[in-house]
Amino acid sequence: MTNSNEITALKKYVRATNFLATSQIYLKQNVLFKRPLQHTDIKPRLLGHWGTCPGINFVYANVNRLIVKHNREFIYLVGPGHG
């Protein structure tokens, strides 16, 4: 059975990985928001897109939890492009 602390930790992990993915795609500087975001912080040409990032992050976090919980060997293979 999953406890609420485990769920809270998973949610925080997924939010953090989504933040990192978004920052890598859209920002060229000020990725930790040490100052208010400015137009010059945003990349003029985006490489990549948001598309599958949240889904991949969610699946990775939850599959990893199951691997650890049940002590299983597992290969999580994700290719380039559209997940």
Q: CA angle at residue 73 from 71 to 76, to 5 degrees? A: 120
Series of mean pLDDT values for 10-residue runs along the chain (83 residues): 84 94 90 93 84 89 91 84 59
Domain limits of the chain? 4-70
Torsion over CA: 26, 46, 78, 58 (sign): positive
pTM above 0.75, yes or no: yes
Rounded to an integer, what distance in angstroms lies between the CA atom of residue 30 and that of residue 33?
Answer: 5
How would you write 6-26 as a 3-class SS string?
HHHHHHHHHHHHHHHHHHHHH
